[in-house]
Amino acid sequence: MKQATKAAVPETVDEYLATVPEPQCGTLQKVRAVIQSVLPDSATECISYRIPVVKYKGMLLGYAAFSDHCSLFGMSGTLLGPFREELKKYSTSKGTIRFPIDKPLPATLIKRLVKHAIAVKDAKGK
């Protein structure tokens, strides 16, 4: 009997992005670049839950591509609260923002979301 083969699980963010088709890949690369532009030097990237995740004093946020949308995930569940008004035009749930596959979230909004997540982690560490 022939065994079913599992798709290889990416081990790095670059490997993950290499498996993502366009336009999702380009969209996530833009999101990644904006996120990286505001991260502290001690932050790291990894694959967790099969998606790219940024770690800073624990899990900070993740992002992923799907067939009909891309998502940004706040790993603490508190990421979206202060931004509810700005996020009204996006589909959201407790810690997830879904956006079009060909249109990343505005860079200024991503930066503010990341900075807020970092501030929450820093406050918990004190």
Question: Amino acid letter at 51?
Answer: I
The reply to whether 1 falls in a domain is no
| Prediction pTM value | 0.90
Average pLDDT (83-109) is: 93
Whether residue 5 is predicted with pLDDT greater than 50 in this model: the reply is no
Specify the DSSP class assigned to residue 22.
T
CA distance 100 to 96: 13
Q: How confident is the model at residue 7 (pLDDT cuts 50, 70, 90)?
A: low
For residue 19, the enclosing domain spans: 13-121
Whether residue 3 contacts residue 35, with contact meaning beta carbons closer than 8 Å, is answered with: no
Domain containing residue 47: CATH number: 3.90.1150.200
Question: Amino acid letter at 78?
Answer: T
The reply to whether 7 falls in a domain is no
Residue at token pair 């990286």 = 36
pLDDT, greater one: 124 or 43: 43
CA distance 42 to 44: 7
The reply to whether 72 falls in a domain is yes
Query: What does the pLDDT look like over 16-74, one tens digit per residue?
Result: 999 999 999 999 999 999 999 999 999 999 999 999 999 999 999 999 999 999 999 99
Strand partners, 70: 65, 99
Count of structural domains within the chain: 1
The reply to whether 30 falls in a domain is yes
Whether residue 2 is predicted with pLDDT greater than 90 in this model: the reply is no
CA distance 47 to 16: 8
